[in-house]
Each structure stands twice: as C-alpha cells, then as structure tokens.
Structure 1
Amino acid sequence: EGSGISEQFLCSICLEVFSEPVSTPCGHNFCKRCISQTWDTNESCFCPLCKEVFSIRPQLKTNTLLSEMVSHAPRLKRHQLMEPVDDLEDRMCPTHDQPLMIYCSTDQKAICVVCSALEHKNHTLVSLKEAFEQEKVSLQQTVAENQRLVEQRRLKVQEITLETSLSQKFNKVFTQLPPKDQLRRVQQFAVDVTLDPDSANPELVLSKDLKQVHHTDVEKKLRNSPQRFANYAIVLGKQSFSSGRFYFEVQVKGKTMWDLGVARESVNRKGEISASPKNGFWTIVLRNRDQYIACDDPRVPLSPLRPPQKVGVFVDYGAGLVSFYDVDSPHLLYCCFALNLFPVLSTFAF
C-alpha cells in the first residue's frame, strides 16, 4: 500500500526506528539509550514529549509489543515515513484500477477516488500531495525541536562542568581560611529570602513582609493546595536555587524546637514526612531545648559550644555542599551534600 512506517515506530529523541523501546510511566516510548542519556544529563527526570516530571527516577520497562513490531522491519529509517508522492501516484488501485491520488489519514494509506467515495467516505481524507507536505513539515519541526533540546543539554553539561571547576577552586582556598574568615566569605553570597505562604502549614503565621514565622495552636482555614504542608509545621522559601552559591541566616533565639535548612521542590507535603536527604531535606534541628541534630542518613548529634542564636546556611551548588554555621561564634555546625533546593523552615514554639 506504500504508506511506509508510521511515526509510532520512531523514537522522538533520535528520530530513528526504536532500539530497545521502553515505556515511561506517562505512557510514551523511547529508545532505552536515548531516554537514559536524557535523564543522565538533566537535573530531573521528565518525559521529553508531555514534559511530565518524575520526582523519583522511574524503572523503565521494555515495550515488548513495540519491540516485536519493530523487529520485523529493522532496516527502516526516518525518511521512510511515507514514500515519495510521484511513486504512489504512479501506482494503481488493485480494486478499481484508478491512480492513488488521495491519502486516508484515518487508515494511514493511499487510496483512489472510487475508494474514497465507497469505503472511506466517513474518514479524514486529504490529497496525497497535501499529506506528504504535512508530514514533511511535521518531520522538519520534530528534527528542529530535537536539535534544540540536544544543544540545550550540551550547554547545560558545559555549565555544570564549569561550575564544578569554579567550586573546586573556591573550596581549595576556602578550607584554608580560619572560621571567622570562612563565615565572612560565605556571607558575601547572601540572598534575600522570603517565605512562601502557599506552602505554609495552617498552624504557622507569617509576618506581612514574609520574613518571620511563628507557630500557633490554632489551625487557620486555608485552601489545601498541592504546595501546602498538611501535617507538619513547615514553610518553604519562595526562592528556588539550582546553581551557583547562596547564603541566608535564620534567627532562632528563644526557640525550644526548630528545623531549618534546604529542601527539594519535589518533597512530600502531605502525610508522613521524615526529614532526611533521601526524602529531599537537608536540615539541622533543635529538640527538647538542648538536643541539636543533623538530619542526615543516619542522624548525627551536634555539640555546639553554646546554643546558637542565629544560624547561617550556605549552599555551594557546584560542589553539592550545604553548610550550617553558628553566626555568632562563628563555627561550622555541620556540612552535607545536596542539589536543587529551596530554603525550608519549621518551628513549634514561640
């Protein structure tokens, strides 16, 4: 029938016939190598077609049906989506002995005028030349979009390589400084952090300037949006940081319980939450007035020289480090590894 292979047999990343086709949770198919490389060079896992983001990297499952279908035509390439119009027009309908001049989009095949009137009258029909031009434009657009994505990924990889190199140089000098000079150095990267009311648990009260938060026993009636923490007194900062270095300070004087640090945007905001790196939280906490703990895996008890009154949080994204400082000492309280973060606060006392 001369219709070539359908676009369903092509990977939308490499534009070639599928090689080891796998399916994502959203139902789209890609070459296993293509989608794995795409996710390896991005900060998050997402579907290149529908852009759905997966907070946890999915287990890719082989599409056995598609693999079987592709295996019967291993030599077909992307330019064979449709045979040239001239070749099809020279062919005759085996039933009506009429030239193939019409394309049935419903059945995806070339037909003659008689076929269109008898067997395909309720189908979507276009002229063969129009169908060919449409497919050519669609393919060109797909190629251009994939080239754009490839270039985007290449630039992102270069940016990360450069940032990592700069961070290594920064840290080589930084670690040789005395504690007071270290703190002074990281304070140069201070950012203006405001709290995000859409994420705040209903028991938290934010100041008008969104710079302060305190806890109450009264739960406000607020819209239960997907961004809002439902069961824990947590609020995120409005600002998201995914590159460079940033530093902010939190006044904790007078508090008997608190959590502070940074978190991924994708953290669970409903149900049970365990603050740990594997769950997207990099925090230190105060419990029972004098128990300071770094919520790492496993948790690490901290022994500050005196109760911190103000805690500084410094993130070096290129190096993947999060550091906590007692601003008034100044001493390094703890250091851990993390990427792609929001400031996060939790408070239980006022």
Structure 2
Amino acid sequence: MTKQHITFTFNPQTVNMSAASCLLTEDQFQCSICLDVFTDPVTIPCGHNFCKTCITKHWDINAPYKCPNCNDIFYTKPKLQVNRFISEMAAQFRQSAQQKASSSSSEQQVSKPGEVPCDDCTGTKLKALKSCLVCLASYCETHLEPHLTKSGLKRHQLIDPVENLEGRMCTKHDKLLELFCKTDQMCVCMLCTYSDHQGHSVVPLKEECEGKKAKLGKTDAEIQQMIQKRRVKIEEMKRSVQLSKKDADREIAAGVQVFRALKESVERSQAELMDTIKEKQRETEKQAEGFIKELEQEISELEKRSSEMEQLSQSEDHLHLLQSFPSLNSAPPTKDWTGVSIRPPSYEGTVVRAVNQLEETLSKLMKKLPELKRVQQYAVDVTLDPDTAHPNLILSDDGKQVKHGDVKKKLPDNPKRFDYCPCVFAKQSFSSGRFYYEVQVKEKTEWDLGVATELINRKGEIKLSPQNGYWTIWLRNKNEYKAPAGPPVSLSLKHQPEKVGVFVDYEEGLVSFYDVDAAELIYSFTGCCFTQKLYPYFSPSNNDGGKNSAPLIISPVNHTE
C-alpha cells in the first residue's frame, strides 16, 4: 500500500499561510514517542515536535533533558508551549483521515462466517486483511493503515489473517511465544526461560526459522531433483506408450483382419453345427409324428369299437345282439407297440468336431499372419561403402562383409569416414518408401545394426540414439541386447538371433528389427520423423583379441513361406 496523502485546506483567519492548501503525509504529523498523530504538539529548542504529554513524561523519567530524536541536551528544562499551527494541521489531518477511512470502509467486504473479522471495527465487522503477532489483533484495510505507515508499527510482524491469536500466547505466563527451545523443540515465552526451560538452548523464533528455512531449502532442492527425475520418467513412459500405441495399432490392424476371418469361420461353423443338430431333431420329430398318427388312428378305431359294444350291450333286441356279437366280441387288429419308442439322437462329439475344425481354420489363418513375410517384399540390395569405413575395418571385395582388424590402415581422412568408432555406411541411401535388408550376426559377441541419417557426426566418439540420428540395436557381452532409444531399452529375446532383418518405413517413421530364423519381431522404433537421407549402418565392434572376429555379412533375403 502506498503512503497516504491528504490535502488540507486551512482557514487564512486561523493560520497565516501564503497558500490555501498543501500536500502532506501522516509521518509529518506523527509523534516519534507515541507514534500517533500529534495531540497538543509542542516544539522544543532543537526544532523537533512532540505531544506535550509524551515529552513531559519522557523528561520526567530520563535525565538530563535530551531530545529523543537528535539527542541534544538541555541543561534547564525547556518551557513548553503548544504549537497552534501544527496542532490545527494535525486536527485537520485526523479529521480527513477519519472521513477517508469511513468512506473506504463502505467499499470493503463485510466479514462472512468462516472469515477473520477486524478486531478494531465497531458495529459491522469488516473482513481482516492481516493479523499482527505483536498486537495480537486482526485488522481490515482501514485499521491496518497505521501498521503500514507508522515507523514504530512497521516493525510489527504481519501475517495472513488467522483466528485464535491467543494461541500464540504462552498458556502458563500469558506472554507472547517469541522464543524457541531447541532442547525441547517447542515455542516458549521469555518467562519460560527462567522456569521450565531454564538452562536450555533457547533462540529467537526468527533465528530458528532461518535454520528451518535453510533445511526446507535443502529439502526443496532434493524434492525438485525428485520432481525432475519423475518428469524424465514420465517422458520416458510417454515415449514407451507412444511406441506401444504404434505397435498396438499395427497389431490391431493385423488382428482385425485375422479375427474378422475367424469370426466368419466361427459363425459359419456355428451355423453348420446348429443345422446338424436341428436336422437330427427334425428327423426325430418326424418319426414321432408318424408313430403318433398311427396310434391316434388305432385309438379312433378302438373308441369306435368300444362305442358299438356299449350300444350293443344295452340293446333289447336279443336277435341283433346275438347276430352282432361274434364280430364285436374281439378288439380290432392293431400294431404291437411294446418294442416301439422314440430315442433322442446322440449329439456326442458334434461340438468337439466343430471346435476341432475351427482350430484347424485358426491355425491356417495364423500361418498367413507372419509380419516378417510382409516386410521381406521390400528387400533391397545393400553393399558397404569403403569411403565411410573406419581404418581398422576390413571389407570384402564384394562389399557384403565387414570385420574388425588389429592393424589400422592408412586411408585418406575424408568427411564421410568414421575416425573413432569402428563403423561403416552402405552405399545406398533412402529418402522415401520402404526398404528391408538382412545381416548375418552368427558367432559374434558384439555388434551394432540399424540406420542413420546422412548428416550425423562421424568424427570422435559417437552416442547412438534417435536424438543423434541413429536408430539401432546392439549386442554386448554375448547376450546383452539393447535398443538405444534415449535411455537404452533392454531387449529380452528367447533365442540369440543369427540373422537380423532391418525394415524401414520412411513415411510411417518406423524402424523394425527381426530375428529372421525365428520370424519374430525384436524391437521397433515408432513415431520417428525422418527429414534426411537414411543409410544402412553397420558396426562389427572391436576384434576383442579374436573373440569377436566373425564378420557381419549382408545376406540375400530368402522369403519365408
């Protein structure tokens, strides 16, 4: 808050001034003893002004008579007379300040439930802006003004408004908790140091807070490091998720095709199974309907015979009864149904046979799925470029093999040649489309394979990573496979590949590596952004005393069946 300025207009009849008004600040009307606006101001011989009561009490206690401001000594007590000019100016300042405070208070917020109210407000309580730890009171904007302008009050410690300021008082001595006992690790008042905490290591709260702040700073630095590590881990996980999503999208596309065919096969097998079962059921129902029809016909004949016999037995015509008796005395001819029954058809094995047939269909579909077969159609002829080869590398005459030699050859150091790492590029470059090649790595304990951009650094030590223009995988220590994708990714392989296939889709931003013999994907870089020519990259690594003497061999592609 800026220092308040108030314009005073003085009556010329009361104060002899050449101007009608002047612009002054509260500091100019403040007694340096009571730190309040002058009451009955007096001027002492050195020229400083004080409240009459304040300077009188000061001289009653302190001797000799000295000015509290400049320490001038007066050997006789000065005669004090009220300075009417300053008195009237102070009165007008006080009145103007009260009017301004009254006006501004109407614009301030009234304290709501849960908010800290101003302790100095009478009537309607305004919302407090700050609490004073020295005064143990909370103040609104208006009543906070003295703490912001008066030099004595400016030294008070202000904090965001809080309730229960009494909680900052010692419950035993009713004094402000302004010290910290390091022995008991608690806040205490001055009187506590003479009783319960006598002889303890006690320091001001500010001093202890400084130490705590230093520790907080150290802890915060550690936390920031932890945050940074976790942010790096988040980025790593995001990259992994992106890679996973690309792989997932590709697999989903292949999976949708397979499962669509599988779904059609399942639906077809299900329909055939239902038709078979329903056909057997229809045959059973048809047989039963035939038997039931015969039985119903026989029942009709028997009921007819029974009715005739009943009528005959009630007849009074003795002659008719005797004549009809022979033909009605026996039952009409019927079929012997004792051995006749409807046996439910057997469905045993029907579902099993359908499932077995479905498994055969699925197996055929899976044989059509291998990804390696799809990428091998983009096979290209690759040969090594001797102008890029490190002087220790030995290339075959046909440019298809490279190994590390113990003797460094004297070769012209052109800009394309690797001079520190045992690497070599292929002659062929690619800036669009798809390409695939295979490299034999059999019997090697270390190697690097992949692709790199045209403008990579070929001098000095090389760090393989996509950020540096390399998309590779490597073998170290015979069985430690990794993909340097930023932080290297460890690769868990079921078998040690003897031949590695490298596939690149330039527009898709994809670089994939395959175990050719196992027809399995080793690793894929996805979401790459290629803007330069790409060259096949090879490094047979160091000879290692003959342990890694086998060459890398660019092999012709034999398409998998």
State the TM-score, normalizing by the size of structure 2: 0.31
Q: Over alpha carbons, which structure has the higher Rg?
A: 2
- Structure having greater relative contact order (Cα 8 Å, sep ≥ 6): 1
State the TM-score, normalizing by the size of structure 1: 0.50
Higher helix share: 2
